[in-house]
Structure 1
């Protein structure tokens, strides 16, 4: 935060875990993990702007919940894989915020099938959102972000481990993590922190598209050292930590929130 912002939000000086007054853009913030992060940050006093592409109903539901709770959440529609839409998103963000305190990239896409059954079109589609769009967003917003700002990208265990039918998505997440490490170094002179948040298996609506979802979710819970899946709120709390000033020493790191599954090789 700059000096003027510290005067407006003195609680940050007393509580480095505070996100009060921070201005946060959450890409993919109307569903699943992104939605949970947006709500958690707003509940903690942040001004939150969420981005979505198609699910207007999900955006409306989030805004209604925010309004009923007196939370400061706004929504903007934009396909972040489109340069024209990125221009519109940038204009919309600049109209609402003088600058961003944090950028959270929670958007992701991809097809679940073996690599040998994927096409070049599948590859381009997956990497266009999961990797290319993230870099495009950083290049647009980082120049105006103040020292102490934070950039967070959501990854997954597929970035490190081979997972059935997850090859393209996993490869894109590995590329995303590599980008974050590089950006963490390149943006350090501006005082901008870049980190990765890597959740373990968590129940979201995205699982509904998989025919064996319940079996896989149950198996993941049974393999976990804590005997259950991590929750959306646990992941959102970790995101709040990466946004707040208490995480000022974390740069270019991957914060894993999986209930300990990876230490057993069973995420």
Structure 2
């Protein structure tokens, strides 16, 4: 999917943070591009100095007024980003959380054999960081807003080689529901977006991922793979005020693949 030229700036005036851009094939980049195309302001973070040189040109492309490092494993970095948002904008309308991580030995091993340190690191980055971002975003969403995170079908069904990440994504989807219930009275919606398989850097750590892509393309009702722009457009739609009464959902953007046995 190629984003069409948008004449109506449907998200003009909205200000948001997008976390998880690593390069131009990242899901988070598809989201940043969609929000920017619809007129929203976009703050962007990068993981570390090594990642900065790949992310900085993309941040410039979406005219990001805030561009900062954020590694949720480094004490204080996450809080510093939200402090900067408060100082620069004083408010926040949307947040896109598109990060996940598991140590290679934990990810590639059996769930039954997961070591405690690997399990905790997987949950910290892949689940708890979204909860923490929701906590920091809440006081900035003075007029309501929308929180988004990225999940995958392996949270609901056993997907070969997805392993411990399936456990983390199941916890993440549950967190979405509880956060939606807690934040709903303040007009804050919370969603998990579940794309079909995508050839991203994060997916490269999953063994036999090419076979999974082929299976998705052949079995999905639409007979095509999802793109980062498809995911971005769907996420941006849910950030619009027209979707203000939709919350707590896991939205599949996968060509219908999840409905096929």
Q: TM-score range by the shorter chain?
A: 0.7 to 0.9
Task: Say whether the 8 Å CA contact 1:181–1:252 is kept in structure 2.
Answer: yes
Displacement of 1:148 in angstroms is: 3.3
Question: How far apart are the structure 1 equivalents of 2:171 and 2:74?
Answer: 20
User: TM-score, normalised to structure 2's length?
Assistant: 0.87
Residue aligned with 1:201, SS:
coil
Aligned match of 1:125: 121
Q: CA RMSD in A?
A: 2.1
Instruction: Indicate whether 1:104 and 2:96 are aligned.
Output: yes
Residue aligned with 1:49, SS:
strand
Show structure 1 runs of 4+ deviating over 4 A: none
Task: Show CA shifts across 1:200-221 (max 9, x none).
Answer: 1122233444553333312221
Instruction: Indicate whether 1:95 and 2:87 are aligned.
Output: yes
Task: Show CA shifts across 1:41-83 (max 9, x none).
Answer: 11211110112213112212313433xxxx4464210212344
Displacement of 1:104 in angstroms is: 1.1
Residue aligned with 2:59, SS:
helix
User: TM-score, normalised to structure 1's length?
Assistant: 0.85
Displacement of 1:177 in angstroms is: 0.9
Instruction: Indicate whether 1:234 and 2:230 are aligned.
Output: yes
Task: Say whether the 8 Å CA contact 1:226–1:259 is kept in structure 2.
Answer: yes
Question: How far apart are the structure 1 equivalents of 2:209 and 2:138?
Answer: 38
Task: Say whether the 8 Å CA contact 2:196–2:216 is kept in structure 1.
Answer: no
Q: 1:40 and 1:73, CA in 2 relative to 1: closer, same or farther beyond 3 A?
A: farther
Question: How far apart are the structure 2 equivalents of 1:161 and 1:212?
Answer: 17
Aligned match of 1:27: 19
Question: How far apart are the structure 1 equivalents of 2:136 and 2:75?
Answer: 11
Q: Which runs of 5+ in 1 are unaligned?
A: 1-14
Aligned match of 1:191: 187
Aligned counterpart for 1:48 among listed residues 14, 21, 42: 42
Q: 1:145 and 1:258, CA in 2 relative to 1: closer, same or farther beyond 3 A?
A: same
Greater Cα offset, 126-135 or 29-38? 29-38
What pairs up with 1:1-267 in 2 under 5 angstroms? 18-31=10-23, 32-54=26-48, 55-66=51-62, 71-72=63-64, 74-110=66-102, 111-210=107-206, 212-265=208-261
- Aligned residue pairs total 247
Task: Say whether the 8 Å CA contact 1:76–1:89 is kept in structure 2.
Answer: yes
